Amino acid sequence: MSILNIFDTMEYGPAPEAANAGLAWIAERQPFGLFINNTWVKPAGKQYIESVNPATGKPLARVAAATSEDVDRAVKAARTAFESWGKTPGHVRARYMYAIARHIQKHARLLAVLESLDNGKTIRETRDIDIPLVARHFYYYAGWAQLMEQEMPGFAPVGVVGQIIPWNFPLLMLAWKIAPALAMGNTVVLKPARYTSLTALKFAEIMQEVRLPPGVINILTGEASQVGEALVRHPDVNKIAFTGSTDVGRSIRRATAGSGKKLSLELGGKSPFIVFDDADLDSVVEGVVDAIWFNQGQVCCAGSRLLMQENIANRLIAKLRARMEHLRIGDSLDKAVDIGAIVSPGQLKEIQRLVEAGVEEGAEMWQPSWTCPTEGNFFPPTLFTNVSPATTIAQVEIFGPVLVAMTFRTPEEAVALANNTRYGLAASVWSDNINLALDIAPRIKAGSVWINSTNLFDASSGFGGYRESGFGREGGKEGLYEYVRPAWEVKATVDLHIAVGSGKGAASSNGSIKGVNMAAHDEEVEDGHEGDKRENGGMNAYHPALPGIDRTPKLFIGGKQARSDSGYSRDVLDRQGHVIGQVGEGNRKDIRNAVEAAHAASGWANGAAHTRAQILYYIAENLSAREDEFARRIVQQTSASRADAANEVQTAISRLFSYAAWADKYEGVVHRPPMRGAVLALPEATGVIGMACPDEYPLLGFISLVAPAIAMGDTVVVIPSMQAPLSATDCYQVLETSDVPSGVVNIVTGDRDTLSQVLAEHDDVDSMWYFGPLEGCQRVELASAGNMKRTWVSYGHRRDWLDTLQGEGQEFLRESTQVKNIWIPYGE
């Protein structure tokens, strides 16, 4: 073709990236072994799987298929390595991580080529986005390794971490997981996705090059049913970090329930891309290209739902179709290609199936006039219009280059449509009116919101989901907490279900036996008797000749005292077994009413933090006015001495002060990723939190859970201490007289496990906290898998609620919030 012709047609010529270095690297090493203890070993089952180039359909490499025996070996290696790596000074870990980052840069081109060959994604993306971001992650987290001792005091590594990653960003997902884990002193067993193992294997070589101590990183290739499941169930793994589909995430939640393994899940999405009529439509079109055709749409946070203000919809669709005509699809190693290959024939079939479903459901499908290559797994960019919000293609994650477009008229409608999904990973908002954009961003239930931009990622800024998009964050400082535990918790060995009722006190942090109220010394028993006498004699009786006026507390729902639906009451006993009162026996319907009331009060989160602080101070003030009465109530229900009970009330008041203080001080940060702009990382209220209080410390346990949550704007449904509920029910009047709006705190007495089960299964509860026996924790974690709600459970371990380190602080505030990252690029 002559140059003159090219000017005429403006056709692209071929611009292939050479594959020989990558292919030679593979040829020299295959079949690949497993990477355990810094050496390459053969898989126990002697089986191998084939990796295929999705752009050609031709075999690329043979990699080992590990079995559960190999998982055992790798976990053992990681456990042994943890003994020293967990104690290695932060500066030493930082040096290793710095070396890893440097080596990634040295091998950047080889890594980019391998990634494109193995995954089918374009070389432009692997070269310019994936690999540079991988290096950036190791640099960034080398810094956190260096700073851990100063910046994370009181935290210890979790131990051996099992990490399971998907195929859509193979090396980048590895970096997101391994970098924070290493920085915090953990050791790792990682399973890449079966389709895309090659860059993880090159990464293993880099571990040898930087002489990372053996066993710190182990990489097991193979199938989910062999490696993934064995890793999830392995008893010596302390945490699982997973990215992938919501269904597998749900099965992992169930498999790990009650095991005490920490868990972070980054799952699917159906992210809205919202365009207001004042947006710059040409920029919007390029934004859409990035949102849904980047990585063939195989992106968990892909902007797959285009929501357009009605008056610009036709214009935008016309521009979009014109742009789609000019997108180029083809071999992933061609540098002038926009869209590469779909990862596997199975994934391609699934995309085709969902597209057919869209057509059958009546939506209008449009594809460009050009045709895809016939060899390899290709699917053209596809646009659906006339889509109704309830249809399959509007609700299900397609994970392919398919965009569904809908319209809205008002900002309110835009928010409602955006939130009409079970997911909550990301969103883009496009408007030239920054006031409007910043008003919309906080109203969208998603972990990342991009203003006039899309698919921006950086190590400094956390990423993760709301709702069924999972829980936990990757990136930023918040990502570090997924890989640490409070140091006191690591040491704690006391099991609540042994201690409660057995008369044994819990060992306190200083080694003495602290006054856990359920247990008592002889001298305290005497005090307890005194308390009993006082209570029986005169709590509500002025004259011994008159019968006392009955004060049976009801439930507290929507700011009102409500009779339990069951019509039953349960006795509350003192430690001698005498009945000292009754409380309502709450049931499923009461919990549903309480959740409804808590939802109706969701405006609590939008009010000023200053107001929430004032109300917490007011609760403290009203509690303090009745200090003596509350102390007597504790004595009456438990075996605490008067002195211990008074201390408990005082500590509860102080705790309310702490959270009143935190209410307007637990703020976000501004990140400065490498772009012109800023990222606002804002802790937002989680929503409705269900809480089962510990049995011990009936007042302090209750206040310690409720106060941080309401300080952060959550509304709560609380099941008080089952054995000593009267301290919580006595708070009804305190709450009523402290200006707490109706529905912010709801209290349902009754059987802890029955009620917790209902809360954990409830789809409108966003998080469930449970402080009780191990079996109860397991049930809560299992039941929560329904809508993938966050859980925070005690695994049967007792906390010393009097201790400020264990009983209050940022751990509680983190559990009460989720971080939303709002990306605001600037400049014309």
Active site residues: 266, 300
Using alpha carbons only, give the angle 657, 662, 666 rounded to the nearest 5 degrees. 175
Residue 186 lies near ligand NDP (rule: CB under 6 A): no
Nearer to ligand NDP, 90 or 166 (CB): 166
**Smallest gap, in angstroms, from Cβ of residue 785 to ligand NDP?**
13
305-309 and 272-275 beta bridge pairing: parallel
Residue 819 lies near ligand NDP (rule: CB under 6 A): no
| Cβ atoms of residues 399 and 420 within 8 Å | no
**Smallest gap, in angstroms, from Cβ of residue 518 to ligand NDP?**
40
**Smallest gap, in angstroms, from Cβ of residue 283 to ligand NDP?**
26
- The interface mask with ligand NDP, positions 325-364, x = CB under 6 A, is -------------------------x--------------
The 8-class DSSP code of residue 16 comes to: B
SS3 385: strand
Residue 561 lies near ligand NDP (rule: CB under 6 A): no
**Smallest gap, in angstroms, from Cβ of residue 253 to ligand NDP?**
11
Residue 232 lies near ligand NDP (rule: CB under 6 A): yes
Nearer to ligand NDP, 267 or 456 (CB): 267
Stretch that binds ligand NDP, among 205-213, 264-272, 685-693, 807-815 (CB under 6 A): 264-272
Nearer to ligand NDP, 244 or 720 (CB): 244
Q: Which residues, 6+ apart, have CB-to-CB distance to 712 below 8 Å?
A: 663, 666, 683, 685, 686, 813, 816, 817
Residue 111 lies near ligand NDP (rule: CB under 6 A): no
Q: CA 769, 772, 774, 779: dihedral to nearest 10 degrees? A: -50
Stretch that binds ligand NDP, among 197-205, 247-255, 474-482, 716-724 (CB under 6 A): 247-255
SS3 60: strand
Residue 193 lies near ligand NDP (rule: CB under 6 A): yes
Q: Which residue has the tokens 């945490």?
A: 239
Token pair, residue 297, equals 């749409």
Cis peptide before 31 (omega within 30 of 0): yes
**Smallest gap, in angstroms, from Cβ of residue 250 to ligand NDP?**
10
Give CA 446 to chain center in angstroms.
11
**Smallest gap, in angstroms, from Cβ of residue 470 to ligand NDP?**
8
**Smallest gap, in angstroms, from Cβ of residue 249 to ligand NDP?**
7
- DSSP-assigned states of every residue in 682-718: EEEE--EEEEE--SSSHHHHHHHHHHHHHHTT-EEEE
Burial of 592 (0-12, 13-18, 19+ CB in 10 A): middle
Nearer to ligand NDP, 313 or 343 (CB): 343
Token pair, residue 280, equals 């710059």
Residue 474 lies near ligand NDP (rule: CB under 6 A): no
**Smallest gap, in angstroms, from Cβ of residue 340 to ligand NDP?**
16
Q: Binding residue for ligand NDP (CB under 6 A) from 65, 94, 160, 267?
A: 267
Q: Binding residue for ligand NDP (CB under 6 A) from 75, 100, 248, 685?
A: 248
Stretch that binds ligand NDP, among 223-231, 477-485, 617-625, 650-658 (CB under 6 A): 223-231
Token pair, residue 195, equals 């389709």
Residue 223 lies near ligand NDP (rule: CB under 6 A): yes
Stretch that binds ligand NDP, among 227-235, 427-435, 490-498, 800-808 (CB under 6 A): 227-235
Nearer to ligand NDP, 377 or 639 (CB): 377
Residue 800 lies near ligand NDP (rule: CB under 6 A): no
Residue 268 lies near ligand NDP (rule: CB under 6 A): yes
SS3 798: coil
Residue 785 lies near ligand NDP (rule: CB under 6 A): no
Stretch that binds ligand NDP, among 152-160, 261-269, 323-331, 441-449 (CB under 6 A): 261-269
**Smallest gap, in angstroms, from Cβ of residue 425 to ligand NDP?**
8
- For residue 615, the surrounding DSSP H or E stretch is helix 609-625
Q: Which residues, 6+ apart, have CB-to-CB distance to 747 below 8 Å?
A: 555, 556, 557, 594, 717, 718, 719, 720, 728, 729, 731, 732
Residue 744 lies near ligand NDP (rule: CB under 6 A): no
**Smallest gap, in angstroms, from Cβ of residue 266 to ligand NDP?**
6
Q: Binding residue for ligand NDP (CB under 6 A) from 194, 253, 789, 799?
A: 194
Residue 254 lies near ligand NDP (rule: CB under 6 A): no
**Smallest gap, in angstroms, from Cβ of residue 193 to ligand NDP?**
4
Q: Binding residue for ligand NDP (CB under 6 A) from 140, 399, 466, 801?
A: 399
Q: Binding residue for ligand NDP (CB under 6 A) from 54, 90, 215, 228?
A: 228
Closest CB to ligand NDP belongs to which residue? 228
Whose CA is closest to 18, among 96, 110, 105?
A: 110
Runs of H (alpha helix) within 562-608? 588-600
Sign, CA torsion 419/421/426/430: negative
- DSSP-assigned states of every residue in 496-538: HHHHTTTTPPPBPTTSSB---TTS--HHHHHHHHHHHHHHHHH
User: How far apart, in whole angstroms, are the C-alpha atoms of residue 479 and residue 141?
Assistant: 10
Residue 229 lies near ligand NDP (rule: CB under 6 A): yes
- The interface mask with ligand NDP, positions 154-183, x = CB under 6 A, is ----------xxxxx---------------
Q: Binding residue for ligand NDP (CB under 6 A) from 68, 88, 105, 251?
A: 251
Nearer to ligand NDP, 112 or 426 (CB): 426
Residue 191 lies near ligand NDP (rule: CB under 6 A): yes
**Smallest gap, in angstroms, from Cβ of residue 350 to ligand NDP?**
6
For residue 528, how many other CB atoms are within 10 A of its CB?
26
CA distances from 398 to 246, 703, 803 (A): 13, 45, 49
User: How far apart, in whole angstroms, are the C-alpha atoms of residue 319 and residue 435?
Assistant: 26
The residue type found at 705 is L
Nearer to ligand NDP, 402 or 518 (CB): 402
Residue 244 lies near ligand NDP (rule: CB under 6 A): yes
Residue 245 lies near ligand NDP (rule: CB under 6 A): yes
Stretch that binds ligand NDP, among 79-87, 238-246, 491-499, 559-567 (CB under 6 A): 238-246
Nearer to ligand NDP, 297 or 581 (CB): 297
Q: Which residue has the tokens 């477009």?
A: 405
Nearer to ligand NDP, 230 or 313 (CB): 230
Whose CA is closest to 78, among 156, 181, 155, 161?
A: 161
| Cβ atoms of residues 427 and 386 within 8 Å | no
| Cβ atoms of residues 417 and 406 within 8 Å | yes
Nearer to ligand NDP, 191 or 477 (CB): 191
Q: Binding residue for ligand NDP (CB under 6 A) from 300, 417, 709, 722?
A: 300
- Site residues for ligand NDP, 602-661, by CB under 6 A, read none
- DSSP-assigned states of every residue in 312-380: GHHHHHHHHHHHHHT--B--TTBTT-SB---S-HHHHHHHHHHHHHHHHTTPEEE--SS---SSS----
- DSSP-assigned states of every residue in 185-231: T-EEEEE--TT--HHHHHHHHHHHHTTPPTTSEEE--S-IIIIIHHH
SS3 470: strand
Nearer to ligand NDP, 300 or 703 (CB): 300
The count of chain residues that interact with ligand NDP, using the rule CB under 6 A, is 26
The site for ligand NDP (CB under 6 A) is made up of 164-168, 191, 193-194, 223-224, 228-229, 232, 243-245, 248, 251-252, 266-268, 300, 350, 397, 399
